Amino acid sequence: MTSNTDAVRRPRLPGHRPVARLSAAIAQPILTRVVRRIAERHPSLFARLGPHQKTDFIIDPIELPFALHLRPDPDALIFRAVPRDLAPVAGAAIRGRFMLLLELVDSEEDGDAAFFSRDLEVTGDTEAVVRLRNALDDVDGSIAEETADMFGAPGRAILARLRRSYPAN
């Protein structure tokens, strides 16, 4: 268990709160649907996390106007968009470009290389982050593809466009 002194809180930054709140509100129904489906299809993810099922993770895609709060507790699953300045105290935080984070979810990118090249910032309980990464590595197939498939042809088109147009660096 992580102590409060080890917890991570994002700095409170001024400005952009209305945009972040609106963006988070728009994204939330999608995130709820996605996390429920992933949990339904991949219940083994939770077992791999062990005691870190109750850890609060902040996943911070730097180009988006909000961060993501994940608590992978199968009994009280949370995956929500939050304005950065309103993010809860977290046991661990993962910060990087959106596409890098997406590629890490699908094990298409080497997390160690991204961390050591400073493209990825990890703070807080690193054991929790490693457990999360290992759990995601064990998923057969692509979570991004599964998510896109949930929304049919428009979802697949958006994912394909994202992958084609997103800058490599």
Where do runs of H (alpha helix) occur along 80-151?
98-105, 111-116, 126-137, 143-150
The ranges assigned to domains in the chain are 10-141
**DSSP 3-state assignment of 66?**
coil
Average pLDDT on 10-16 reads: 48
Average pLDDT value for the chain: 84
- Residue 117 contacts residue 154 (beta carbons within 8 Å): no
Q: Which CATH superfamily is domain 10-141 in?
A: SCP2 sterol-binding domain (3.30.1050.10)
Average pLDDT on 37-64 reads: 91
The span from the CA of 109 to the CA of 101, in Å, is 9
Regarding pTM above 0.75, the answer is: yes
**DSSP 3-state assignment of 112?**
helix
Q: What is the pLDDT of residue 163?
A: 86
